[in-house]
Amino acid sequence: MDNIFEYYLVDWLGISLSLLAVYMLGNKNQWGFIIFALSNIVWVYLGLFPMNSLGTAIGNAIFFIINIRGFINWYKQQPETQSK
């Protein structure tokens, strides 16, 4: 553990958002997908610029798409409440 502040806490932001998203999805809150998508954006940035890890960037770009898809599918499955 050389320097826990090497990436100016951006990596800590990414993991914090990921953990919050897992918690929210575990509580059946569809907004967990959006929080996960935000963490994916953070990880794509980290992978491309300070870490120089193309695998991290590509993997999280794919996860971003999957999370947006999950949010949309969950939203479509919500029962529609109509006033009569």
Number of domains the chain is built from: 1
Which pLDDT belongs to residue 75?
83
Domain with 32, as residue range(s), is 10-75
Instruction: Let me know if 52 is exposed, middle or buried by CB neighbors in 10 A (0-12, 13-18, 19+).
Output: exposed
28 domain residue, yes or no: yes
At 51-80, the pLDDT tens digits run 999 999 999 999 999 999 999 999 888 876
Tell me the pLDDT tens digit for each residue of 10-29.
999 999 999 999 999 999 99
Is residue 21 one of the residues assigned to a domain? yes
Specify if 3 maps to a domain: no
HSE, CB side, 13 Å, CA atoms: give it for residue 69: 6
